[in-house]
Structure 1
Amino acid sequence: MRNLLVLLMLLSIFSAMSLPPVAMATERPWQQLPEPKPLPDPASSGYAWINGIQLYFETFGQGEPVLLLHGALGNANYWGNQVPALAKKYRVIVIDARGHGRSTRDGKLFSYRLLAADVIALLDLLKIDKVSIIGWSDGGNTALQLAIQHPERLRRLFIFSANYKPSGYRLDVDQNDNFVRYIDLARRDYQRLSGKPHGYEIFLQLLSLFWGSEPNFSPEQLNRISLPIVIAAGDHDEAIRREHTEALARMIPSARLLILPDVSFFAMWQNPQLFNQTLLLFLAGK
């Protein structure tokens, strides 16, 4: 309950704040928040009518399928720095999670089981038997839920800045300029993309309830994961405590811990060359 109240308070503060001044050149990479590049033109795009919602997706390239799951408050466009690099070799799928971006939501409360069910329904629709997943934040938590429930549908997982309990959140996140900037960016993008652009405050409240109680993965559940998996974070992560990330990696026997240097929760934007190279090596099994 304490975590929930703190998160509600922080989100309320964030929603009332405006974007701080653009980062100065003297700031270090982890102190900056460069916005991602636009996505390239997709090979296909559309809405999947699944589980009572319209789930927006786009696909790029050809080859073994790789699904990118965005982070909290985000949307598929936030992978603009990664898709061109990955689509040279893989069939890349991006989605707007339910209620995010262009996707709709119904009256169900958010849960990682529900988000995972949406992924499975989309894979079925696209006739994809197995997929590798790159999950960031909430996307990483959804990927962990899939590894627990549906390991037979997965090849390998790259989990970045995820948590297995609400206690993994850093409570000083409100002191970080990057998160203030990010919340403002996410609000503007929600209002631009959503079919209900005036529903952002309700959207925030529903997510804050969600984050106050989930994820809640047990050591026993995590210990049963045997897929090739990387548990990664930036060495200046503003959202997840380092010791929590390290504990998560220890509980998964097949996991490898990876801490990326000089970046934060937003590593894919701050150093896309490093992030993309890391993803490509992982997908190649190296």
Structure 2
Amino acid sequence: MKKNIFILILILKATIISSQTPSKSEFVVVNGKKIHYERYGKGDPLLFLHGYSLSSKSWESYVSDFDKEYEVYLIDLTGHGKSTPFTEQLSIRNVANDLLALIQHLGLKKIKAVGFSFGGDILYQLALLNPDLIESMITIGAMGTWDVNDFPQYQKGYTYENKDNFPWLKTSHETDDHIKALMHQFKNYTVYLSNEELQKISPEVLVMMGDDDEGMDFDEVARVKKHLPKSDIWILPNVSHGAHENENKEEFVIKAKKFLAKDKNTKK
């Protein structure tokens, strides 16, 4: 049991460091929910999406690496951070719909995006909802298909009664209602992309993962690579779920910036 809790902590952990001041920070009401976002820097829009039970704070330490070249958006996805807590059954598609409504409210016609875990699953759904919106995207520990029922040990360990085992919860979310709802809805985390849906995803995609990420299935990696039209797979050795964090951060930033700048160089 202790091993399972430790693995879950690695899968859901956050690096929370705040050093930047946003040029804008506000709430937007979409689909009857308040969604909070912060904006930094200038340039083409670049969205960063956090993992499940995290918040936009988990990306704050990356802002200074990208805000000289991009207009960076850190978003608290539905049910997370300062945004409205979950009040209905978790649906990855519905969260993506809320994100799309926010993007449309902000008047963003084209975006680039980075999504970790839950945030990556949201990006795949967003690419299906609006095929022309995303120019390129990076997903970390996510391939658009994941079912919590395949991991009963996670469901057993990730409960409100065990909330003290996940210290980032209190610093990431506004209220205890957020935390209760997140942990309650975790049992409904299921999303699937068919081969046909993968083939419809038009942005160039960099799929980043660690080879020790037990939440990622290598058969699924092969299926995604086969059917996702413009995809690169980047697998880091001896790395778990947060493949972009800690000692891998510098390498991630270098490779991410090179990948996201591809279309700029092509246009030149």
**TM-score between both structures, scaled by the size of structure 1:** 0.78
Partner of 2:119: 139
Q: Which residue of 2 aligns with 1:60?
A: 40
Higher share of residues assigned strand: 2
Structure 2 residue aligned with 1:44? 24
Q: 1:250, 1:152 → 2: CA distance? A: 22
Paired residue type of 1:256: D
Alignment of 1:88-127 (within 5 A): 88-105=68-85, 107-127=87-107
How far did residue 52 of structure 1 move? 0.9
Q: Does 1:185 align with 2:185?
A: no
Q: Distance in 2 between matches of 1:267 and 1:186?
A: 18
2:253 paired with 1:273: no
**Residue aligned with 2:167, SS:** helix
* Residue 199 (structure 2) aligns with: 223
Instruction: Please state whether the residue corresponding to 1:148 is helix, strand or coil.
Output: helix
* Contact kept? 2:198, 2:228, Cα under 8 Å: yes
Q: Which amino acid aligns with 1:187?
A: L
Q: Does 2:141 match 1:161?
A: yes
Q: Equivalent residue for 2:158?
A: none
Shift of 1:98: 1.0
The answer to whether the 8 A contact 2:145-2:192 is kept is yes
Q: Is the 8 A contact 1:36 1:269 kept in 2?
A: no
Q: Where does residue 204 of structure 1 map in the other structure?
A: 183
> Is 1:60–1:83's contact at 8 Å kept on the other side of the alignment?
yes
Letter aligned with residue 151 of structure 1: P
Cα gap change, 1:228 to 1:73, in 2 (>3 Å): same
What amino acid maps onto 1:266 in structure 2? G
Q: Which amino acid aligns with 2:171?
A: D
Q: Work out the percentage of aligned pairs sharing the same amino acid.
A: 25
Residues 1:182 and 1:44: Cα distance change in structure 2 (over 3 Å): farther
User: SS of 2:138's equivalent?
Assistant: strand
- Residue deviations 1:82-136, cap 9 Å, x none? 2110111100001111111111136332212211111111112211111011111
CA contact (8 A) 2:127 2:201 kept: yes
In the alignment, is residue 237 of structure 1 matched against residue 213 of structure 2?
Answer: yes
Superimposed CA distance per residue, residues 38-84 of structure 1 (whole angstroms, 9 cap, x where no aligned partner): 25111111111111111110011000100111111110010123211
Query: Where does structure 2 lack aligned partners over 5 or more consecutive residues?
Result: 155-161
Residue 141 of structure 1 aligns to a residue in which SS?
helix
Which ranges in structure 1 are unaligned for 5 or more consecutive residues?
1-9, 21-29, 175-179
1:186–1:241 CA distance, 2 compared to 1 (3 A)? farther
Which residue of structure 2 aligns with residue 148 of structure 1?
A: 128
Separation (CA, whole Å) in 2 of partners of 1:126 and 1:34: 27
Q: Which residue of 2 aligns with 1:4?
A: none
Question: In the TM superposition, what is the alpha-carbon distance from 1:144 to its structure 2 partner?
Answer: 0.3
Q: For residues 123 and 35 of structure 1, do their structure 2 counterparts lie closer, same or farther at Cα, with a shift above 3 Å needed?
A: closer
Equivalent-residue separation in structure 1 for 2:42 and 2:163 (angstroms):
35
Distance 2:258 2:163 in 1: 31
C-alpha distance in 2, partners of 1:106/1:171?
22
Q: Look up the match of 1:26.
A: none
Letter paired with 2:184: Q
1:248, distance to aligned residue in structure 2 (A): 1.9
Q: How many residues align?
A: 252
